[in-house]
Amino acid sequence: MPAMFAIAVYGIGNPQLTPFVAFGCFGLLVMADFGGPRKPRAVAYVATALVGAVLIVLGTLASSAIWIAVPAMFAIGCIVQFSGVFGGYTAAAVTALLLSFVLSVSIPAPASDIWLRLAGWLLAASASTLASVTLWPRFEQQDLHARAADVLSKLAVLITTSRSRSVSGVESERKVAAESLTALRRRYATTRKRPAGPGRSDRALVELISEIDRTLAFVKRPFHVHLEAEHPCLREGDHLASAIGQTLEQAASALTGGPSPDLGPLRNALDTHREALDLWALTQLREGAAPEHVMDGLAVDDALRAVSFLTVAMTQNAAVASGYDVPEQIDPIPGVPIHQGVSGVVRRVLRSVKDHSSLRSSVLQTGLRTGVGLALAVLVSQSLHLDHAFWVVLGTLSVLRSNALSTGRTTLQALAGTVLGFALAGLFTAIVGPGSPALWLALPVMIFVAAYGSTLFGFLAGQAGFTIVVITIFNIIAPVGWRLGLARVEDVAVGAAISVLVGLILWPSGARRELAHELAAFYGAVATFLDARLSQATMPVQASDSGVVRAAAVRTRDRAGEALNRYVAERGAKPLEPEVAGRLLAGGADSILFGDLFSRFLGAGYETDDCPDSSAILQAQLEILVNEWRCLSRRMAGSPVTDPPSVNDVALRQAGLDCLTRWSSGAAGAKSAIATVVTGEWIDQLGELAAELDDPVKQVIQAARTPWWR
């Protein structure tokens, strides 16, 4: 930045070009700072530079008249801020893009100056791109891939070991896999620009990390038994466990540059295991084995089969995250981003826009709040004819947050940081004198402190550093001494006051109440999905289209996830621990995954129609399960609800035993008996999950009812 600023000041010397060089470098290298491999990183900088150039043209054209500038600022503020919903590089570029438009619309200039402004911006973008890809580039995505590959390898060892008789060995491998997963999640959480959004590879990586977490949790406690317990089909079960391990190793290799994984062996092992499991159950019953023994054996290897389906999902997402096509040997697990190319990007963008088109969406609220706040700042600064209108709008942008309380606290930090920066910069300027060469010598250090301090010490330090940089830059361009700092304090105070006003008027509760509403909608959609998906076993003819309700559940999950992200990023005190909200979101997502796995099981022809009495029991318990999830939804929505009855695991087990007995006597088919047992296990597990979520739901309700000023 100092080098490009020197070129602008002494090499070109145009007052319209110089600010765009200085602030362009700061915005692109500090406010954006794209990560990832060199090529996509460079593409991100080029794309941001081109979009910023368009915004500079629009901003300059709108700057000539206040009646054009204000609505233009509102529209651009809303659109650019809302675009952050796409995540990844798009979200990282939001502040830098807003800065380009704010700078151009706040400083009035004729249309003839557009080319000078564009030259300054593109000069800054070229230098920023070159610096980003050559000076100590960090490759966070490769590091995440390597860590995810390490977890997959350890998970493969755990699943293979789980088929052995060594309980101590299983516990040791389980601990190792859990520690590796913790390291992955910690690294993901601390990645400054996390990959996410409509990008096919980025989205697949996010899904993969979630699936690894679910798989490890499932292996720890599947269906009341452990994978290392007595299992019925030793050879076929061991072969399936071995195929799972090999597939996970291939997925890990793909993440670190290896070839695309092959799901063919796992598919064959699944088919062989299913046939062997059915034959084992039939043989055991014909030989006089107790139905209880057969039922326990089915539950053990059904857990292994569920892990195999999770392996399919993880492998497909690992392939997509590595840049490969989805392996075709097995149909894609629902949720894997299979659409490629331009059409796939367009589909995901349109879906994201549709999902956040409601006023309940925190993304849309933030976009509108940003547009209103910045437009009001432009109106006030130009109406009052303030000398540095840019600082007023920038102060509004810096301070504006998602609720009134956090905006107020940030206002105090902004003013304190600005005063601190003014004092330090004023003292330094008074000592060395305006226009002194010492300002050039100090500028690189000041820029470093401004960029480094904001990340290390927080907003107040960043505001102080930025104030020092601004005062130094303008004292180099037009030496006026410490009075420039005083003007900045006044303008930032005006911008901060506008932020507080907008925060008080527009959604002052922030993200916590919206989070409760989105979680309520999500759980309601989950209840409908579970009803449709599990009813396929007991009432296949009457079951509704589970594909449609699944799509609705996924959309509400995405909105709830966005609300959670907003809540976590929100400044200020949090009456609800983010981990609690994350547990609720994960619980709902797990239920969707369970429904997907169950649907794949039913796809092999398993129905409960040969055991009508048992099927009726299952349907009754399913209605209780769905009611439990709907009650959780209603509670978070604020409706009074009495405690619903819980799923009866004794009745579910008896339904399975009765159907196994009918099978042994020839009155029922094999698939009906097995379907009855497996359906009962899934209903029981989902009922336990709903019970575990009751306390987190209570905490969400309490947080939503907390007044916004507390």
Residue carrying the six token digits 């006089």: 288
Q: Model pTM greater than 0.75?
A: no
Question: From CA 116, how far away is CA 114, in angstroms rounded?
Answer: 5
Phi, psi of 562 (to 5 degrees): -65, -40
Q: In this predicted structure, what is the pLDDT of residue 467?
A: 75
Segment 235-252, tens digit of pLDDT: 888 888 899 999 999 999
Is residue 624's pLDDT more than 90?
Answer: yes
Please say if the pLDDT value at position 604 is more than 60. Answer: yes
- Quick one: average pLDDT of 421-425? 76
Q: What whole-number distance in Å separates Cα of residue 678 and Cα of residue 664?
A: 17
pLDDT of residue 193 exceeding 50, the answer is: no
pLDDT tens, residue by residue, 531-590 = 888 888 777 655 456 677 888 888 788 778 777 766 665 555 566 676 677 778 878 877
Question: What confidence score (pLDDT) does residue 331 get?
Answer: 58
- DSSP state string for 173-200: HHHHHHHHHHHHHHHHHH-TT---SS-H
Helix (H, G, I), strand (E, B) or coil at 341: helix
Q: Which amino acid makes up residue 192?
A: R
Coil/strand/helix, residue 166: coil
Give the pLDDT confidence score for residue 468 in this predicted structure: 79
**Which stretch, 343-352, 392-401, 531-540, 640-649, has highest mean pLDDT?**
640-649
With 60 as the cut, is the pLDDT of residue 406 above it? no
pLDDT in tens, 3-32: 888 888 888 877 778 889 988 998 888 878
State the Cα–Cα distance between residues 634 and 3, nearest whole angstrom. Answer: 59
CATH class of 511-705: mainly alpha
| Percent of residues, the chain, with pLDDT higher than 90 | 12
Fold adopted by 140-329: Methane Monooxygenase Hydroxylase; Chain G, domain 1 (1.20.58)
How far apart (Å, rounded) are the C-alpha atoms in residues 532 and 159? 31
Q: Is the pLDDT of residue 196 over 50?
A: no
Long-range contacts: 262-266, Cβ < 8 Å, 24+? 262/327, 262/329, 263/312, 263/315, 263/316, 263/327, 263/329, 263/330, 264/329, 266/308, 266/311, 266/312, 266/315, 266/329, 266/330
* Comma-separated ranges of CATH 1.20.58.220 domains in the chain: 511-705
- How close are the terminal C-alpha atoms of the chain, in Å? 42
Kindly report, residue by residue over 326-379, the tens digit of the pLDDT.
766 565 555 555 555 556 566 666 777 777 777 767 678 778 888 888 888 888
Is it the case that residue 42 has pLDDT exceeding 80? yes
